[in-house]
Structure 1
């Protein structure tokens, strides 16, 4: 059985910016708490070194993002827009997956030690 194509939205930035310069842990905790209180399923995932950046259509975004990159991938466009406004220094976009170029929307190129 194959997964149905889904539109994913993302904000992309450097790991240093997101994890060291921004209070991102607080943002995540607040969002998890909100989802739990409202009975919502989690629809966002932080992805270090996101594999979707290897797709040809993201060559420009990959080139502009400081290394190593991190993306917050979500199916919620409103959340992605909120993150873009909240974090300011990010690259935002969307893609549909699974597809030939992006078989897994939240795959990471980061090796597991």
Structure 2
């Protein structure tokens, strides 16, 4: 099983209220300089949210969700501290995550 961690918010929040492009670009540069494989993805309207169950607060958000998914729990925890107004969680999958 693969473990994935995510931060989810509205697309409006990520695109208009936070410098998410800059944050992810800096993270990508850090990974490249460290010769580390990219283990995070930015996904619009993530399908996995609907299969997590009804007890998650992000299901009450608008239809236009976006998520940052990573194999690195510490990165998502850091992102939550950096960005603030995101919901975080995790899920497991038998296969590796491949965004559309």
Verify same fold: TM over 0.5: yes
For residue 71 of structure 1, give the secondary structure of its aligned residue in structure 2: strand
2:12 maps to which of 16, 24, 30: 16
Structure 2 residue runs of 5 or longer lacking an equivalent are none
Greater C-alpha radius of gyration: 1
Equivalences for residues 82-97 of structure 1 within 5 A: 82-97=78-93
CA drift of 1:59 comes to 5.5
**Partner Cα distance (2:99, 2:34) in 1:** 27
Structure 1 residue runs of 5 or longer lacking an equivalent are 109-113
Aligned to 1:111: none
TM-score, reference length from structure 2: 0.88
1:61 maps to which of 52, 57, 60: 57
**Partner Cα distance (1:61, 1:106) in 2:** 24
Q: Is the 8 A contact 2:6 2:69 kept in 1?
A: yes
Runs of 4+ in 1 over 4 A off after TM superposition: none
Query: Does 2:84 match 1:74?
Result: no
The 1:106–1:50 alpha-carbon spacing in structure 2 relative to 1, beyond 3 Å, is farther
TM-score, reference length from structure 1: 0.79
The 1:42–1:58 alpha-carbon spacing in structure 2 relative to 1, beyond 3 Å, is farther
For residue 43 of structure 2, give the secondary structure of its aligned residue in structure 1: strand
Say which structure, 1 or 2, has more relative contact order (CA 8 Å, 6+ apart).
Answer: 2
